[in-house]
Structure 1
């Protein structure tokens, strides 16, 4: 299908209605239509497995499903059946459900490096609770975030550090400082500069690159030496790196860690986990000041906890993490071969762990380019591939990967033409896609 003949009239109309009713036209900025080529932002009707259908009736192979949350594929039978069983039993009560006990036992068996866990509905609540707990147990005000990682929370302590800091007092933002990933010396310098002021170091334990040898162990030692709390944000690495997260894979135990995304296969459940000594400060069995750790009306909905238990069982019994890696390796090899075949191997790049692939689009000077990303996305969409990233789900099969690689090759052929012209504008079809974090709309 040629992009000149690819229109999404119903999606376009639905997007207009969304913008009239919902600020930003979506409930997550990363799902905004500004992230897609102009007038080519599909509005989804439904999904099954690795495929989704838009309201115009087009079917796509989907990557990055649910912002990495649907790692088993849409409407997974085992997860859905677990949820259905609970729906007729009630979803929320005035006292804890036995499901809360069973889900906690299951989680702590899956992530044995943690001693206690508390569930909530989204990742931001979990990371903010971790930060609050770290401040309480250390008595220190500052938070040190890894400046190389893109997102930790919607709350002020983090969003104030981004270009979208409107509405956040400077006094709040000044309490957040940043350290570079992989650089122990710079982190130690920061801890020394703010001696006895930094409550915690919070980072994703791994990202688009593997941690340098000894890095996570070194961070653990720095945190211990300077008396601060080490927090691993495992929203992405949880399950995709191993069933026990990156901490299970690399063998470095944080004080606190946060899980989400893959935990519920699209159902709303996240978790704060960690050492009993710290976590109990948010409980009733201690003599110190109480910490308002997490208290959410919907945090322990029975059907979401049932989904999480089914996800963990499926990962363990079906070797899902290994399958994600195998699918990602096949996809990465195919994309790189396609890019090389069209002479754009230095411009269309695949990066990251095989289970968590992203792509970069570089211009003729080797710089990241939103216009070239727009060109690339347009061709993928026209070929039936919805791919803001190349993050795989286990529902993909070899035919899906092969089709994706074929479409990527077609996109790379157009990419080559744009590079030769030193101007992608004729292939954009409108304004370029935009970064999520920017000051002005």
Structure 2
């Protein structure tokens, strides 16, 4: 890290020194962002409220597993691009594929041959799907799946898994969150929820709204593995109650297997949605599924048409080229296995560091090795935003940008080892805060905030 932007300061209540990161250019850039862009970012999860006060770096550039901020500081980055950059920034195979297409034009008045090639490549990668349609973001794909399910079943209600944090920016989901301003209650009332891993509760929900639920939509796995028989049980429930089973594979796609969780666990949904890792940072998502359903949005079906997905930029050639390069790289270089190996090394190191510092019950690593998150718990074992702030602040001071611990394949052993060392230092301060019963002296300002909240 650039030492010109760090200094030693002492807490007003404690004698030990602590490195404090100074980000003057980032602070200025954040002010400019807020002056022109609502929220200061184009994704709420990237907002500066998600970081310790005055410690929200604005990125200049990235390469591999590292990013540099506008102040000249270098960080090891985790959760790159909100999990989308799984191969690392500026991956050469992806960049070269994109460059080739840019010289050939990116958008035309008719489909390009690249759309044929990209669809063939995707359906070979996800063989459980029979048709695919590309878009630019995950929200459009999941909303299209919901619309398709409603059209196919003639039913109004959507059943979402309540234990999964995000599905779409559209009303059918956002209306269920604390940020539901502007969404009619009549819309929100059509979305109901079921708990993950509980087949009995899901069956009870379907019985309560018998003949009304168009689809069950969920992430097939997140920070917990599906209980034995759970996904196949959902498949049976959907069939028995006549609703559509939708897997949101935005995160599990590629990270669980090249074909997503459905490829790993062997349960075939009716529809599934992919994005994030599919483009390694380029804007591409996909809705895939059974031909019988997908053709409702086509031109070769006699049933009433569904306005499925129709986007001007949905088939930009360079984004589809990026997706094909990503799929080739995963297949030829064993990327999923590498993500798991890196995650295993990282999780073991972080757990050992936390345990050694006496905070193993408070800094908790969760999730599949390729998709690790962490929890910061207070003296009572409850999730704590102040303790998360303390932890993030110490990581940033050590050159680690880690809103999660989600790995990219560009990390190497030295990156992991450095991260574990920084985590150990953070955990030492965490222990002192726990002993004091108050993390406030170590926060340096207001705590970080949850994304979904009613008031700013």
Q: Common fold, TM-score beyond 0.5?
A: yes
Instruction: Name the CA distance, whole Å, in 2 between partners of 1:285 and 1:180.
Output: 38
Q: SS of the counterpart of 2:382?
A: coil
Task: Give the equivalent residue in structure 2 for 1:302.
Answer: 317
Task: Give the equivalent residue in structure 2 for 1:432.
Answer: 447
Task: Give the equivalent residue in structure 1 for 2:63.
Answer: 48
Task: Give the equivalent residue in structure 2 for 1:346.
Answer: 361
Deviations, residues 362-416 of structure 1 (Å, cap 9, x unaligned): 0011100000000000000000000000000000000000000000000000000
Deviations, residues 231-285 of structure 1 (Å, cap 9, x unaligned): 0000000000000000000000000000000000000000000000000010011
Matches within 5 A, 1:182-331: 182-331=197-346
Q: SS of the counterpart of 1:416?
A: helix
Deviations, residues 266-311 of structure 1 (Å, cap 9, x unaligned): 0000000000000001001110100000000000000000000000
Instruction: Name the CA distance, whole Å, in 2 between partners of 1:343 and 1:211.
Output: 31
Q: Compute the displacement of 1:136 (Å).
A: 0.2
Instruction: Name the CA distance, whole Å, in 2 between partners of 1:392 and 1:269.
Output: 20
Instruction: Name the CA distance, whole Å, in 2 between partners of 1:332 and 1:314.
Output: 25
Pair 1:175-2:163 in alignment: no
Deviations, residues 2-31 of structure 1 (Å, cap 9, x unaligned): x55311010000000100000000000000
Instruction: Name the CA distance, whole Å, in 2 between partners of 1:5 and 1:104.
Output: 49
Deviations, residues 157-207 of structure 1 (Å, cap 9, x unaligned): 000000000000000000000000000000000000000000000000001
Matches within 5 A, 1:106-125: 106-125=121-140
Deviations, residues 34-58 of structure 1 (Å, cap 9, x unaligned): 0000000000000000000000000
Instruction: Name the CA distance, whole Å, in 2 between partners of 1:186 and 1:285.
Output: 39
Instruction: Name the CA distance, whole Å, in 1 between partners of 2:67 and 2:289.
Output: 36
Q: SS of the counterpart of 1:113?
A: coil
Runs of 4+ in 1 over 4 A off after TM superposition: none
Instruction: Return the TM-score normalized by structure 2.
Output: 0.96
Q: Is the 8 A contact 2:247 2:272 kept in 1?
A: yes
Instruction: Name the CA distance, whole Å, in 2 between partners of 1:4 and 1:48.
Output: 26
Instruction: Name the CA distance, whole Å, in 2 between partners of 1:78 and 1:88.
Output: 16
Instruction: Name the CA distance, whole Å, in 2 between partners of 1:327 and 1:207.
Output: 18
Instruction: Name the CA distance, whole Å, in 2 between partners of 1:368 and 1:159.
Output: 23
Instruction: Name the CA distance, whole Å, in 1 between partners of 2:111 and 2:404.
Output: 39
Matches within 5 A, 1:138-149: 138-149=153-164
CA RMSD of aligned residues (A): 0.4
Instruction: Return the TM-score normalized by structure 1.
Output: 0.99
Q: SS of the counterpart of 2:19?
A: helix
Q: Is the 8 A contact 2:365 2:374 kept in 1?
A: yes
Deviations, residues 103-156 of structure 1 (Å, cap 9, x unaligned): 000000000000000000000000000000000000000000000000000000
After alignment, is 92-101 or 3-12 more displaced?
A: 3-12
Deviations, residues 295-335 of structure 1 (Å, cap 9, x unaligned): 00000000000000000000000000000000000000000
Instruction: Name the CA distance, whole Å, in 1 between partners of 2:293 and 2:170.
Output: 22
Q: SS of the counterpart of 1:4?
A: strand
Instruction: Name the CA distance, whole Å, in 2 between partners of 1:405 and 1:286.
Output: 56
Instruction: Name the CA distance, whole Å, in 2 between partners of 1:178 and 1:341.
Output: 40
Q: Is the 8 A contact 2:19 2:397 kept in 1?
A: no
Instruction: Name the CA distance, whole Å, in 2 between partners of 1:113 and 1:286.
Output: 22
Q: Is the 8 A contact 2:156 2:212 kept in 1?
A: yes
